Copies of this chain bind each other. A is one copy, B any other.
Amino acid sequence: MESKNLENILESYFDRLWPLTRSLTGNANRETLSILSEIIPLNVHEVPSGTICYDWEIPSEWNPKEAWIKDENGNILVDFKKNNLHLLGYSTSYNGKLSFEELESHLYSLPEKPELIPYVTSYYSKRWGFCISHHQLKELKEHKGPFNVNIDAEHNIDGSLTYGDLLLEGTSSEEILFSTYICHPSMANDQISGMLVAAFLYQELSKIKDRHYSYRFIFVPETIGAIAYLKENGSILKERTRAGYIITCLGDKGKFSYKNTKQKDSLTNKVTLQVLKDNNIEFQEFPFVPLGSDERQYASPGFNLPVGSLMRTMYWHFEEYHTSADNKSFISFKHLRESIELYMKVIKTFEGNKKFINKFPYGEVQLGKRGLYPTLGRGNDKTQMVDAYIWILNYSDGKNDLLQIAELSNIPMNILIEASNILEKEGLINKIENF
């Protein structure tokens, strides 16, 4: 894949996904999944409103049509068609004439960031409202009103929640999970970046032949969607998931971050940290906390799935988070492409990590006679590949996988994987099938 080309493709998809008013439910979510299906052939599922999912219930389907505030002369002051953040998420319908005093408690703004429109929702408590910049709030206050207010937003109790998933099967039923969320309207980094990385990761991954792991891609509205997914698929996930990631916040220009899984010694953590080390990537490390994104659900005590999150700047840690400033200018398609590439390195490390048994465990194997060792003894001038042979042979006693050998030897995984392939071809080591 040519880099520039991929960046252009990413941008074109971004531009199509940007304007849709995604939420927990609704047609914008269906359209989003339909667009993404051009990249990844998702299975799209509908969960009817009212369905009980553990402690939760699927809410009514929400499809906002119009939302504006006009002055007495009919001049439009606020219109969610201009910026879909203007409408409070899951707002109820409303129509009426109000003074500023009456309107004020329905307005949400950020006094400390007066230029920006906040992203606010009220999913499970019935409210109507508008999100506007604090500058605009002051203008409305000066204006005093009265204002004509109109919100036409359907809440359909016969609707459904929509999600997509896909299982890319490998030779093993062991799964690696990638989950991203689809419930934010126009948010570039904290939403669209994740959907695009997940979708294109599938595309890259599907080119790899002889995959060991099966890969599960999940596109759900945050929280309720993940809970609905677990309700339908949780027991399979619990049985098969060896590692997993929440894919989000991957387009900004900041350095990488890694939020660890709940289990400190998980394969997810080991592989991710090794890839970051091997590639000399400066990053910020975060411990697991049961707050954040859908790792909250996957790592709930009934499932305890080892789900981490490899991001660029983590949600909460960038100023633009959940405001109108998290837009196209905040991200770059070069950074988005590099995020996909880094996740591919993670996947290659999962695929290449194996555990072997040295078939000649007594004394050293004579590598020289197999052409794998310099025939001239000149002190200590071996290549890293020769070191890799020796480390693998010495530590392949059934206890250590390549990741553990990488940690001990400081030899990068890609060298160890290549060396193990050669040693296996030479008949010197045997792969342990299930470890």
- Which A residues are closer than 8 A to B by beta carbons? 53-56, 89, 108, 118-125, 127, 223, 226-227, 230-231, 234, 262, 287, 289-291, 296-297, 299-304, 315-316, 321-322, 358, 360-366, 368-369, 375-380, 382, 387, 390-391, 393-397, 408-409
Contacts and interface: CB of A to CB of B under 8 A. Distances in A.
B395 A301 contact: yes
A364 B55 contact: yes
A289 B408 CA distance: 8
Given A122-B375, A315-B380, 19 more contacts: A53-B363, A108-B378, A120-B377, A121-B377, A122-B377, A231-B363, A262-B394, A287-B408, A289-B409, A290-B390, A290-B391, A296-B364, A297-B363, A300-B363, A301-B393, A301-B395, A301-B396, A302-B361, A302-B362
Contact of A394 (B300, B360, B391): B300
A390 B291 contact: yes
Question: Which of A53, A56, A368 gathers most chain B CB within 10 Å?
Answer: A56
Contacts of A382: 291
Contacts of A377: 89, 120-123
A262 B395 CA distance: 10
Given A302-B362, A397-B304, A376 B120 contact: yes
Nearest to A291: B390
A230 B362 contact: yes
A334 to B, nearest CB: 27
A295 B127 CA distance: 63
B227 A364 contact: yes
A391 B289 CA distance: 8
A23 B124 CA distance: 71
B55 A365 contact: yes
A264 B290 CA distance: 28
A397 B364 CA distance: 42
Contacts of A127: 375-376
B297 A124 contact: no
A316 B387 CA distance: 15
Contact of A376 (B54, B125, B316, B387): B125
A223 B360 CA distance: 15
B395 A364 contact: no
Please name the 6 residue pairs, one residue from A and one from B, whose CB atoms are nearest each other, closest first. Answer: A302-B361, A125-B375, A290-B394, A301-B397, A302-B362, A227-B363
B361 A300 contact: yes
A364 B223 CA distance: 8
